[in-house]
Structure 1
Amino acid sequence: MIELYSPAEIEAMRPAGRFVADTLTELSRVADVGMNLLELDELVARRIKEAGAVSCYVDYAPSFGAGPFGKVLCTSVNDAVLHGLPHDYKLKDGDLVSFDFAAEVDGWVADSALSVVVGAPADKDLRLIDTTTRALEAGIGAATVGNKIGDIGHAIATVARGDGYGVNTQFGGHGVGRTMHGDPHIPNDGRPGRGMKLKPGLVIAIEPWFLQTTDEIRYDPDGWTLRSADGSRGAHMEHTVAITEDGPIILTARN
């Protein structure tokens, strides 16, 4: 079921958005060569406890995963791009890592992701992150009242293909509100003017993710982590966005 939220309810979502945004900002600053993915997950678990928030991941067991997830943060490194299950791995110089984090605060959920390089970055990794960032911005720009879901996907895919990247539509954005994953599905490709009309009060996660030389993915044996089929690296960016008469509000905007 697709939920539409009142202006007061969207305001009530802001603390969740701020908490998720601040947590990701901290991760982007502290992640460094030699840090263990389990350390980063433990850091976020402490932040959740300190804030009186609730993890959306630890008990999450959807049909596409080998749940429950058991951790509070997704950490996808290099050729991993989505749903990376934290494990005993120390980040190396030049690693491209994507953090995906969702949490509930006062009954409201926010969901966001970012990708960074630790140590010395390769130009091709920075280019991939830049494309994914601009695709997210384009998708958010298309999330206006009267547009259609297809307009969001078309805006995202236009940026990706313009930079020479393929687009996979198996996983994409989704509705957000009282739960982490709700309707509607927001694919990262689409035809302009097609799909559900965007209405005030709709709150969605928009999340482009691209791989350097393929659009095919495979599962790790852990049943969660999704990697590129050819070993090329991936990047993932995501924001929770409220659609309003005055334009899109990025609830997980980072300072």
Structure 2
Amino acid sequence: MFSRGIELKKPEQIIRMRKAGLVVARILAELERHVAPGVTTGELDGLAREMLAQQGATSNFLNYGAEWGYPPYPGVACISVDEEIVHGIPGERKLVEGDIVSVDFGAILDGWHGDAARTFLVGEVDEACRQLSEHTRESMWAGIGAAHLGGRVGDISHAVEVSILSHGLDYGIVREYTGHGIGTAMHQPPDVPNFGKAGKGPKIVEGLVLAIEPMVTLGSEDAVTLEDDWTVVTNDGSWASHWENTMTVTKKGLWVLTELDGGEAELSARGLPFGPLAD
């Protein structure tokens, strides 16, 4: 069912999306265990491919873009290191002590999509970079927590921005790339910017599923795409963090489809209602 171009899901369809989300959550957790100095980004991508096959899922990243005339994306995971914001192509690059690595990963299961991102720390990381990742993660949860039935997508955007700015640091909030609706396709309306005014945008209703994904830098928000037509880096060379979860709002509360526990621990710690349809 579509409302003003936005795909609204029935409860049983969201439960199927939860299964895809669990595939994403499990594989990201396993990738984190393998992030270490000396490991290449290509090796991480290879592990993700193996696990997708083991779980009977397919990639929504592999060959993405070809239908619109872009070079087909060659990996199943976007692996972006240090100054790379998003869409980093996995390959021969070896991780080194002190790197931060943002892994954006998705899966399709029975026609339904899951999408999430995590920033992983490689060994001992500079305190400013550790805080960058933690503050970006916090802003994602602030956005999730701002969603409620009858509210607006702008409530999420505003909460993400306020959370980032609350730290009083010169962070750059990347505006060119946004969160999005998700369902039978990975990217659907509506866009979910990481800045904006509360009370604006499409209404949050039952059946709306969103991917909330702040990208934050230690410097400028300006981004540049490299010659490979995919890898997006900061214009000033500052390092970046990217966190993302797929979520929905039910009559009972919030349900994070790409967290192993559905988001229960994080939501409970914030005094927010946990509202799974199943689990």
Q: State the TM-score, normalized to the length of structure 2.
A: 0.88
Please, which of 78, 84, 90 is the counterpart of residue 86 of structure 1? 90
Say if 2:59 is the partner of 1:55. Answer: yes
Q: Per the alignment, do residues 65 and 233 of structure 1 end up closer, same or farther by CA in structure 2, a change over 3 Å counting?
A: farther
User: What letter matches 1:96 in structure 2?
Assistant: I
User: What letter matches 1:91 in structure 2?
Assistant: L
Say if 2:228 is the partner of 1:197. Answer: no
Please, which of 165, 176, 184 is the counterpart of residue 182 of structure 2? 176
After the TM superposition, which residues 22-171 of structure 1 pair with which residues of structure 2 at under 5 Å, given as runs? 22-61=26-65, 66-163=70-167, 164=169, 165-171=171-177
User: What letter matches 2:74 in structure 1?
Assistant: G
- CA–CA distance in structure 1, aligned partners of residues 206 and 91 of structure 2: 41
How far has the Cα of 1:62 moved from its partner?
A: 6.5
Aligned to 2:276: none
- CA–CA distance in structure 1, aligned partners of residues 69 and 228 of structure 2: 9
Q: CA deviation digits over 1:153-197, x for unaligned, max 9?
A: 000000111222232221110111111111110000110111111
- CA–CA distance in structure 2, aligned partners of residues 234 and 62 of structure 1: 27
Gaps of 5+ in 2: 262-279
Give the aligned length. Answer: 255
How far has the Cα of 1:199 moved from its partner?
A: 0.6
User: What letter matches 2:88 in structure 1?
Assistant: G
Q: Per the alignment, do residues 148 and 63 of structure 1 end up closer, same or farther by CA in structure 2, a change over 3 Å counting?
A: farther
- CA–CA distance in structure 1, aligned partners of residues 182 and 219 of structure 2: 31
Q: 1:65 touches 1:223 (CA, 8 Å); kept in 2?
A: no
Gaps of 5+ in 1: none
SS of 1:252 mapped into structure 2:
coil
How far has the Cα of 1:131 moved from its partner?
A: 0.6
Q: 1:149 touches 1:190 (CA, 8 Å); kept in 2?
A: no
- CA–CA distance in structure 1, aligned partners of residues 205 and 66 of structure 2: 28
Report which structure shows greater RCO (CA 8 Å, sep ≥6).
1
SS of 2:6 mapped into structure 1:
coil
Q: State the TM-score, normalized to the length of structure 1.
A: 0.96
The percent of aligned pairs where both chains have the same amino acid is 38
Q: CA deviation digits over 1:221-254, x for unaligned, max 9?
A: 2110111111010000000001222222100014
- CA–CA distance in structure 2, aligned partners of residues 117 and 188 of structure 1: 23
Q: 1:25 touches 1:254 (CA, 8 Å); kept in 2?
A: no
Q: Per the alignment, do residues 63 and 232 of structure 1 end up closer, same or farther by CA in structure 2, a change over 3 Å counting?
A: farther
User: What letter matches 2:137 in structure 1?
Assistant: T
How far has the Cα of 1:64 moved from its partner?
A: 8.8
How far has the Cα of 1:76 moved from its partner?
A: 0.2
Q: CA deviation digits over 1:105-151, x for unaligned, max 9?
A: 11111000000111111100110011101100000001111111111
User: What letter matches 2:43 in structure 1?
Assistant: E
SS of 1:13 mapped into structure 2:
helix
